[in-house]
């Protein structure tokens, strides 16, 4: 059994645009056989983008949170 975690973070500003992206996950991989495994994972993805111009202002905020299962194989 292998426990895994991941955190990615990106924050950028280019001209009138600013934004951030966060991707995080936590999971367990259980090897059923020597080269084949399955596991559950919980993932969070958050995107925030803002535009500030004299003639247009707006933003995008989106988020995904949830579980998924997967299979894995190795050679």
Mean pLDDT over residues 38-64, rounded?
Answer: 92
Q: Is the pLDDT of residue 20 over 90?
A: yes
The full length of the chain comes to 75
Cβ distance 47 to 62 under 8 Å? yes
Can you give the residue range of the structural domain that contains 52? 2-73
Count of the separate structural domains present in the chain? 1
Mean pLDDT over residues 10-23, rounded?
Answer: 94
68/29 Cα distance (integer angstroms): 12
Question: In this structure, what CATH number is given to the domain that contains residue 49?
Answer: 3.90.1150.210
- pTM given for the model: 0.72
């Amino acid at each position: 059994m292998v426990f895994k975690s991941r955190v990615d973070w990106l924050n950028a500003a280019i001209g009138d645009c600013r934004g951030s992206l966060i991707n995080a996950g936590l999971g367990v991989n259980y090897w059923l056989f020597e080269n084949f495994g399955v596991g559950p994972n919980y993932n969070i993805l958050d995107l925030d983008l803002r535009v500030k111009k004299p003639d247009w202002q707006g933003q995008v905020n989106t988020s995904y949170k949830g579980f998924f299962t997967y299979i894995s194989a190795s050679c």
